[in-house]
Amino acid sequence: MNPIDDLIRAIPKAELHLHIEGTLEPEMVFDLAHRHGIALRYPTVEALREAYRFSDLQSFLDVYYAGAEVLRDESDFHALTAAYLRRAHADGVVHVEIFFDPQTHTARGVPFEAVIGGIRSALLQAQEKLGITHRLILCFLRHLSADDAMETLQQALAHADAITAVGLDSSEIGHPPSKFAAVFDRARAEGFLTVAHAGEEGPPAYIYEALDILGVARIDHGVRSEQDPDLVARLARERMPLTVCPLSNVKLRVFDRMEDHNLKRLLERGLCVTVNSDDPAYFGGYVAENYLAVSRALRLSRSEVAQLAANSIEASFLARADKDRWLQKIASFAGNE
């Protein structure tokens, strides 16, 4: 490895855009299917992995929701989360802010308590054993109704001590953030922070809605902001974080090649861009692989890699003292030539 590759794996970083269901590797799909006596459409692990060829967001979501069928009880969610955290630790991740989609599971009869219980126990275990801190973000599925989201929020109130923020994911086109205005108003009133997927396949108008109607603290994706110079200027001025997922963007044809990605341009414009892995089991790489891919394709400098890591900490929901501690460590890594 070259020095920048070494830096990427070693430098402390946070991961802020990670769907825990999207870390379900094919091997675990088969293990859990066998455990629960579930018949799969694919005969082998290799055949399932071959299905991970997507033309757009919806083609991915079809496979993603089918895979989630094997997650049935609390131990499954614990195993899923623990496996991700081990990988994250190996990639130099010191803090994670994990998305989970309770509606994907409660619609199948899996209790909300089983979902959050398994995820939460693995997070606490990793904090004790690996030193990884965490925040948990409940995401609403935007292709479902606002009423369904409100019902899910109501269920979440009993677990408010474990949930830091609410977000918005799933099919973006045709489901603008404003559809969920009342849900996010209620969430903020209950003390939750808010984030939202916007500007992945949707237009810049969706980013404006996320900012001005949902009151978000971060934009998840946001790469289509570049289509609106005024929006880019606003994002830079407000230091509004974008949780960008490079391998995901290429896999879902948001960009044809990594060399076409706008991450470096946005970074140069002063935006608080971060690098994340989104659904790494499906998109070909966890967070270090995302850093490596974008670094090689866009020829990032050592200081730009360090800036991305620092942005991830700055954009997190950590307390100010914890941010400052990690930022000092990142600065020391960046200074080691």
**Catalytic annotation on 200?**
yes
Nearest to 116 by CA among 132, 100, 98: 100
pTM: 0.96
- pLDDT tens-place string over residues 41-66: 889 999 998 888 888 888 888 888 88
- pLDDT tens-place string over residues 133-170: 999 999 999 999 999 999 999 999 999 999 999 999 99
Q: Are 250 and 322 in contact (CB under 8 A)?
A: no
Q: Is 233 exposed, middle or buried (0-12, 13-18, 19+ CB in 10 A)?
A: middle
For tokens 């800036």, the residue is: 307
- pLDDT tens-place string over residues 187-214: 999 999 999 999 999 999 999 999 999 9
* Catalytic residue (one of 172, 200, 201, 304): 200
The chain-wide mean pLDDT, for the chain, equals 96
- pLDDT tens-place string over residues 246-269: 999 999 999 999 999 999 999 999
Nearest to 51 by CA among 34, 38, 64: 64
Angle at 313 between CA 307 and CA 318, to 5 degrees: 165
Burial 112-144 (b: 16+ CB within 10 A, else e): bebbbbbbbbbbeebeeebebbbbbbbbbbbbb
Residue 328, token pair as written in the block:
């000092």
Q: Between 279 and 59, where is the model more confident? A: 279
Q: Per-residue pLDDT averaged across 83-91, rounded?
A: 98
337 has pLDDT over 50: no
Share of the chain above pLDDT 70, in %: 99
Q: Are 226 and 200 in contact (CB under 8 A)?
A: no
